[in-house]
Chain A
Amino acid sequence: MADREHDDDALLRTLGAVAAEHERAGHASPWEALTRGELSAEEAARLERLATEDPEAARLLDVHRPLGEVGRARITSELAAKLAPRRAWAPRAFVAASALAMAAALVLMVTRGPSSHALPEYALDVSGTSALRGPAGETERAPGAPCVLVADARASFEVVARPGEAEPGAIVARAFVVRHGEPVPWPRGLEVSPKGSVRMLEPASALVGATELAIVIGRPEHLDPAEALTKARGDVGSGPGWQVLRCAIREPAE
Chain B
Amino acid sequence: VAELAIALVRDALAGDRRALAAFVGEMTPVIQVRVVRALLRRRASADGRDIRQEVEDLTQDVFGALFAHGGRALRAWDPDRGLSLANFVGLIADRHAASTLRSGRKNPWRDRPQELDEIESAAPPVTSAEPQIASRRALERLLDRMREALSPRGLELFQRLYVEQEPIDEVAGAMGMTREAIYAWRNRVGKLLRSFSLEIAEEEDKAPLDQAGRSRKPEGTPTDG
Asked if residues A12 and B158 are in contact (CB atoms below 8 Å), the reply is yes
B-contact 0/1 string along A1-44, CB 8 Å cutoff: 00011011101111110111111011011011001110000000
> Which residue on A lies nearest to B13, using beta carbons?
A83
Task: Tell me the minimal C-beta distance from A38 to chain B in angstroms.
Answer: 9
Please choose the segment from A56-64, A184-192, A210-218 that sits at the chain B interface, where 4 or more of its residues have CB less than 8 A away. A56-64
Assembly CA distance A79 to B20 (angstroms): 8
A179: B residues at CB distance < 8 A: none
Assembly CA distance A203 to B197 (angstroms): 59
A-contact 0/1 string along B180-191, CB 8 Å cutoff: 000100110110
B55: A residues at CB distance < 8 A: 63
Assembly CA distance A26 to B60 (angstroms): 21
Assembly CA distance A16 to B186 (angstroms): 13
Asked if residues A25 and B224 are in contact (CB atoms below 8 Å), the reply is yes
A234: B residues at CB distance < 8 A: none
B-contact 0/1 string along A186-209, CB 8 Å cutoff: 000000000000000000000000
- Selected from A9, A25, A63, A141, the residue in CB contact (under 8 A) with B39 is A63
Asked if residues B139 and A5 are in contact (CB atoms below 8 Å), the reply is no
Name the interface size band of chain B: 35 or more
> Which residue on A lies nearest to B191, using beta carbons?
A8
How many residues of chain A get a CB closer than 8 Å to chain B's CBs?
52
Q: Tell yes or no: A66 within 8 A of B by CB.
A: yes
Asked if residues A67 and B187 are in contact (CB atoms below 8 Å), the reply is no
- Selected from A12, A18, A83, the residue in CB contact (under 8 A) with B189 is A12
Asked if residues A67 and B56 are in contact (CB atoms below 8 Å), the reply is yes
A12: B residues at CB distance < 8 A: 158, 161-162, 186, 189-190, 193
Asked if residues A14 and B139 are in contact (CB atoms below 8 Å), the reply is yes
Q: Tell yes or no: A180 within 8 A of B by CB.
A: no
Within 8 A of A (CB), among B81-113: none
A-contact 0/1 string along B52-74, CB 8 Å cutoff: 10011001100110010010000
Q: Tell yes or no: A87 within 8 A of B by CB.
A: yes
Assembly CA distance A9 to B17 (angstroms): 44
Please choose the segment from B21-29, B114-122, B200-208, B211-219 that sits at the chain A interface, where 4 or more of its residues have CB less than 8 A away. B21-29
Within 8 A of A (CB), among B1-60: 12-15, 17, 20-22, 24-26, 28-29, 32-33, 36-37, 39-40, 51-52, 55-56, 59-60
> Which residue on A lies nearest to B60, using beta carbons?
A75
B17: A residues at CB distance < 8 A: 76, 80, 121
Assembly CA distance A138 to B207 (angstroms): 47
Asked if residues A19 and B25 are in contact (CB atoms below 8 Å), the reply is no
Q: Tell yes or no: A46 within 8 A of B by CB.
A: no
Most buried by A among B21, B56, B165: B21
Most buried by B among A4, A9, A60, A63: A63
Listed by A's residue number, 15 A-B pairs whose Cβ atoms lie within 8 Å are A9-B186, A11-B190, A11-B197, A12-B190, A16-B162, A22-B37, A22-B225, A23-B163, A31-B224, A32-B33, A36-B29, A60-B224, A67-B59, A71-B60, A78-B63
B: residues with CB less than 8 A from A are: 12-15, 17, 20-22, 24-26, 28-29, 32-33, 36-37, 39-40, 51-52, 55-56, 59-60, 63-64, 67, 70, 130-131, 133, 136, 139-140, 142-143, 146, 158-159, 161-165, 183, 186-187, 189-190, 193, 197, 223-225
Could you list 14 further interchain pairs (A-B, Cβ under 8 angstroms) beyond the known A5-B186, A22-B225?
A8-B186, A11-B133, A11-B190, A35-B33, A62-B51, A63-B40, A63-B51, A67-B28, A71-B59, A75-B24, A76-B17, A86-B70, A87-B15, A121-B17
